[in-house]
A and B are shown apart, each in its own frame.
Chain A
Amino acid sequence: MPWKLLWRNVLGHPVRSLLTVGAVAIAVFLVCVLQAVTSGLTRTLSSAAANRLLVQSAVSLFVDLPLSYQQKIAAVPGIEAICKWQWFGGRYEQDKGGFFPQFGIDPDTFAASYPEITIVEGSYADFQRERTACMVGIDTATKYGWKIGQTVPIAGTIFQRTDGRPWEFTVRAIYTSNSAAVDKISLYFPFHYLQESVEQGGAIGPDGVGVYMLRVAKGSDPLAVQQAVDGMFANGPQRVQTTTEAEFNRQFISMLGDVPTLLQLIGGAVLFAIFFAVLNTMLMAGRERTRAIGVMKALGFTDHTTGALLVAESLLLCMLGAALGIGLGLAAEAPFAAATGAFLPGFGFDEATLWLGAGIALGTGLVAGLLPGWRAARMNTIAALREVG
């Protein structure tokens, strides 16, 4: 194989080669991102704890459950702990465009129910003790440079203070997580601070709680607990739906539609388009080099070599594109993970995703090079030499 000729052919049309490499790079980058989202979803769902159930309104996640349900649910046999989860939906005063989720929770039962969480700064006990304390994920704390003891002003959108001022939370603990089931960007504060503020007229907002998290005792059957809780409120006053954490996450994600299928369709369309772009480039290259192919054959190069030269050129362009696309993906991984962390804590480029990107480029290069390569191999030497250059 005349490698120098291969390389010179690629460099002979620098703009065309650059555009092709760039197009493949963008396609590989997109496919890697889409695959990372899909595997992130899978990881998030598969990391869900089997012993955690979530109780929400049977009508919708956006309908709150009565606070009085907590005591009744807690009495169901097999439940070890119950914890409120209330979506706060506030905006950090210093970065109103930024986003991180905030939840009102029960500090007394939260930590034991989420062993994935580790406190890296401050202490959980301080968080537990103080009414206006908050515990934040390490990514959010790092992003805003928050320190232990710092007061964080959050403007409420669902829950608004009647004095018009933002809510103020004091950072008492910073956590990290070792599981895709729990993100590293949320802010948690005691639910009772929210509840008392509303009850005392210091704030306005919906009465009730969004979700109850149940920790099922070891040895108890989660399905039986699930059925018992649902059955308890089957006749009202407000029906509930109890699901496993994995199912809850799946339903939450499916609110956006069938995400995996959508992503696969987009990825497929991208690949389809890029395949024809590369094929077009290689067919043009093959046509332009008709005389050169004739000369090479006259010099004694075999049909196989002249054909393989075009296949190799296609592979080279695509693999350069793959390297660039994967490089871009790795560079963009951290910003993407930060942007999707709330909904997709499992986002990330694993080895399989990177191999998929490389494999797709390899396949595209091979298939797109085959037709021009086959044409070159079959080309009649005399006819090729007669071609007007």
Chain B
Amino acid sequence: MASAITIQSVTKTYTRGGESLRVLDELDLTMDGGTFYALMGPSGSGKTTLLNLVGGLDQADSGSVRIGDVDLGELSSSELAGWRAANVGFVFQGFNLLPVLTARENVELPLLLAPLSRAQRRAQAERVLELVGLKDRMDHKPRELSGGQEQRVAIARAIATDPQVLLADEPTGDLDRTTADSVLDLLQRLNRELQKTILMVTHDPQAASYSDKVIHLDKGKLGRIDDNRAASGGRK
């Protein structure tokens, strides 16, 4: 059973140019495990900040962020790194593949942190590349791939360690509509077939329509949650 994400009274403040900016303000939110969430809201509403907190890239000033039984606020920096390696996969808008490595080597990178042999790492990388439909391109460097293929490799890297949670920050922001749709299809498939909990930040309502639920943030607070499944009569 996939772990739930629980946000309790989370506040996060940044200081910019001497001014204090409260990005998340006493936010309370619970996300079910195995559900595909889209996170929407105007710029500055705290979407990416929330994503970073859930991914253990940042820590809340107050309140708690729990993934399953783990309170991320209680982990040290190195414990958080270890937790991320095992439990979270990231998909970025700019793909962020390492240009000096091939597609397979990029996917193998997080597997270096898992207790696997070289052959096991290779096999797992090939398996997930096959899952995203890119096994035939695995020996290509990122510059030899299209934007859509790069994002698929990035998704393969994100799921290589079989994490519970997949966090995607505007994953289709740099892609054309057709390519974006195929990437969103892939994310949806990962959610449906592998029961991954997905939290995807997006400005695009069409991208958000692929999710099960849409969380709307406004000025650091929860606006509303739309249930796409209910809206579509549960036929997604």
Among B52, B58, B99, B101, contact of A4 (Cβ-Cβ < 8 Å): B101
Of B81, B90, B157, the residue contacting A301 (CB under 8 A) is: B81
Residues of B within 8 A of A (CB): 52, 55, 57-58, 77-78, 81-86, 90, 92, 94, 96, 98-101, 105, 109-110, 112-113, 157
Name the one of A12, A299, A303, A385 contacting B77, with C-beta atoms under 8 angstroms.
Answer: A303
Report A137 CB to chain B, min CB distance, Å: 55
4 tightest Cβ-Cβ pairs between the two chains A and B: A300-B85, A8-B100, A12-B100, A300-B84
A–B Cβ pairs within 8 angstroms, 13 of them: A2-B112, A8-B101, A11-B100, A295-B98, A297-B81, A299-B84, A299-B113, A300-B82, A300-B85, A300-B86, A301-B113, A302-B82, A382-B57
- Contact status B105-A302, CB under 8 Å: no
Contact A299 B90 (CB under 8 A): yes
Question: Are A298 and B100 CB-contacts (below 8 A) given A2-B109, A4-B105?
Answer: no
Specify which chain A residues have a CB less than 8 angstroms from the CB of B78 in the assembled complex. 302-304
Find out whether the CB atom of A299 lies under 8 angstroms from the CB atom of B101. Answer: no
Contact A300 B81 (CB under 8 A): yes
Least CB distance from B159 to A in Å reads 12
Q: Is A84 an interface residue (CB 8 A)?
A: no
Residues of chain A within 8 A (CB-CB) of B110 are: 299-300
Nearest A residue to B169, CB-CB: A385
Known: A11-B100, A12-B100. A298 touches B109 (CB 8 A): no
What distance in Å separates the Cβ of B4 from its nearest Cβ neighbour in chain A?
Answer: 22
Are A385 and B92 in contact, CB atoms less than 8 angstroms apart?
A: yes
A9 CA / B55 CA spacing, docked (Å)? 27
Q: Which residues of B contact A237 (CB under 8 A)?
A: none
Across the interface, do B90 and A5 meet the contact criterion of CB distance under 8 Å? no
Given the known A-B contacts A381-B57, A385-B92, A389-B94, are A300 and B113 also in contact in the complex, defined by CB atoms under 8 Å? yes
Given A298-B55, A301-B113, 6 other A-B contacts at CB below 8 A? A12-B100, A295-B92, A299-B110, A301-B85, A303-B78, A385-B92
How would residues 274 to 300 of chain A score, 1 for a CB under 8 Å from any chain B CB and 0 otherwise?
A: 000000000000000001101111111
Please name the residue on chain A nearest to B93 by beta carbon: A385
Distance from B118 Cβ to chain A, minimum over Cβ atoms (Å):
10
Distance A301 CA – B101 CA, assembled complex (angstroms): 17
Choose among A12, A296, A300, A302 the residue with the greatest number of B CB atoms under 10 Å from its CB: A300
Residues of A within 8 A of B86 (CB): 300
Nearest residue in A to B108 (C-beta to C-beta)? Answer: A4
**B100:A291 contact, CB within 8 angstroms:** no
Chain B residues near A385 (CB-CB < 8 A): 92, 96
- Given A296-B109, A382-B57, also A9-B100 (CB < 8 A): yes
Distance of B109 from chain A, by nearest CB (Å): 6
Residues of A within 8 A of B90 (CB): 298-299
Q: Is the CB of B100 within 8 A of A295?
A: no
Assess whether A302 is in contact with B81, with CB atoms less than 8 Å apart.
yes
The answer to whether B57 touches A5 (Cβ under 8 A) is: no
Chain B residues in 8 Å Cβ range of A294: 96
Q: Are B101 and A5 in contact (CB under 8 A)?
A: yes
Using Cβ atoms and an 8 Å threshold, which residues of chain A touch B85? 299-301
Q: Closest Cβ of chain A: how far from B36's Cβ, in Å? A: 21
Q: Which residues of A contact B112 (CB under 8 A)?
A: 2
Near B by CB (< 8 A), chain A positions 330-389 give: 381-382, 385, 389
**Cα–Cα distance between A11 and B202 once the two chains are bound (Å):** 37
CB distance from A382 to the nearest CB of B (A): 6
Residue of B nearest to A298 (CB): B90
Judging by beta carbons under 8 Å apart, are B84 and A298 in contact? Answer: yes
* Complex: A291 Cα to B92 Cα, angstroms: 11
Q: In the assembled complex, which residues on chain A have CB atoms less than 8 Å from the CB atom of B94?
A: 291, 389
Instruction: Give Cα A381 to B80, complex, Å.
Output: 12
Residues of A close to B82: CB separation below 8 A = 300, 302
B94 nearest in chain A by CB position? A389
Residues on the B chain within 8 Å of A302, using CB: 77-78, 81-82
- B109 — which chain A residues lie within 8 A by C-beta? 2, 5, 296, 299
Name A306's closest neighbour in chain B (CB-CB). Answer: B81
Asked if B100 and A382 make an inter-chain contact with CB atoms under 8 angstroms apart, the answer reads: no
Convert A297-331 into 0s and 1s, putting 1 for each residue whose CB lies closer than 8 angstroms to a CB of B.
11111111000000000000000000000000000
Q: How far is the CA of A374 from the CA of B99 in the complex (A)?
A: 23
Over the window 133-160 of chain A, the binary record of Cβ atoms lying under 8 Å from chain B Cβ atoms (1 yes, 0 no) is 0000000000000000000000000000
Alpha-carbon separation in the docked complex, A381 to B78 (Å): 13
Q: Tell me the smallest distance from the CB of B229 to a CB of chain A, in Å.
A: 30
Task: Give chain A nearest CB distance to B140 CB in angstroms.
Answer: 14
Contact of A298 among B57, B99, B101, B105 (CB under 8 A): B57
The residues in A between 2 and 52 inclusive whose CB is less than 8 angstroms from any CB of B are: 2, 4-5, 8-9, 11-12
Return the chain A residue nearest B90 by Cβ.
A298
Please give, as numbers and ranges, the residues of chain A lying within 8 Å of B81 by CB-CB distance.
297, 300-303
With a cutoff of 8 Å between Cβ atoms, the chain B residues found around residue A5 in the complex are: 98, 100-101, 105, 109
Most buried by B among A4, A298, A303, A304: A298
State the Cβ distance, B43 to closest chain A Cβ, in Å: 14
Give the distance in Å from the alpha carbon of A8 to the alpha carbon of B105 in the complex. 11
Complex CA distance for A80 and B234, rounded to whole angstroms: 117
Q: Which residues of B contact A12 (CB under 8 A)?
A: 99-100
The digit string for A155-188, where 1 denotes a CB below 8 A from any CB of B, is 0000000000000000000000000000000000
Q: Nearest Cβ distance between residue B199 and chain A, in whole angstroms?
A: 14
